[in-house]
Amino acid sequence: MGTPTSPRATWTFPSEHGQSAFPLQRLRAAFHYTVAGLCEEVGQDTGIQFSKQAVAAITEITFKQCGSFAKDLEMFAKHAKRTTINMEDVKLLARRSNSLLRYITQKSEELALNNLEQKEKRKKKTKKGRSSDEPAEPAAAESEDSNMA
Amino acid sequence: MGRTTVSRSALKRLVKRHKPQLRLSANTDLLVHLNFLLFLQRLAEETRTTAIAEKSKTIKYEHVLSSAKIILKKSRG
Tens-digit pLDDT profile for residues B11-55: 999 999 999 999 888 999 999 999 999 999 999 999 999 999 999
B60 CA: distance to closest CA in chain A (Å)? 29
Q: Work out how many CB contacts closer than 8 A connect A with B.
A: 3
Would you tell me how many other CB atoms lie within 10 Å of the CB of residue A89? 19
With beta carbons under 8 A apart, name residues in chain A contacting B76: 96
Cβ-Cβ contacts under 8 Å, B77 against chain A: 95-96
- For an interface test with B, give the residue of A76, A79, A92, A96 to mutate (most B CBs within 10 A): A96
* Phi and psi angles of residue B27, each rounded to the nearest 5 degrees, phi first: 65, 10
| Secondary structure class of A5 (helix, strand, coil) | coil
pLDDT band with cut points at 50, 70 and 90 for residue A17: low
- Determine the 3-state secondary structure of A1 from DSSP: coil
pLDDT at B2 over 70: no
A95: chain B residues, CB-CB within 8 Å? 77
Closest-approach residue (CA) in chain A for B75: A96
Alpha-carbon span B10 to B13, nearest angstrom: 5
Shortest CA gap A92–chain B (Å): 10
Q: What is the mean pLDDT of chain A?
A: 79
A100 contacts on B by Cβ (under 8 Å):
none
Do the Cβ atoms of B33 and B11 come closer than 8 Å?
Answer: yes
A96 touches chain B (CB under 8 A): yes
Residues contacting A134, CB < 8 A, separation 6+: none
- Closest chain A C-alpha to B66 CA, distance in angstroms: 19
Cα dist from B53 to A4, A140, A149, B62, B67, whole Å: 42, 89, 100, 13, 12
d(CA B68, CA B39): 10
User: Which chain A residue has the Cα nearest residue B73?
Assistant: A96
Residue of B nearest to A98 (CA): B76
| Closest of A85, A18, A29, A87 to residue A55, by C-alpha | A29
d(CA B4, CA B46): 23
- What pLDDT is recorded for position B61? 95
Alpha-carbon distance values, B54 to A12, A78, B50, B70 (Å): 52, 45, 6, 16
Nearest CA-CA distance, residue B25 and chain A, Å = 17
- What would the pLDDT profile of A53-97 be if each residue is shown by its tens digit? 999 999 999 999 999 999 999 999 999 999 999 999 999 999 988
User: Alpha-carbon Rg of chain A, whole angstroms?
Assistant: 26
Q: Which residues, 6+ apart, have CB-to-CB distance to B49 below 8 Å? A: B67
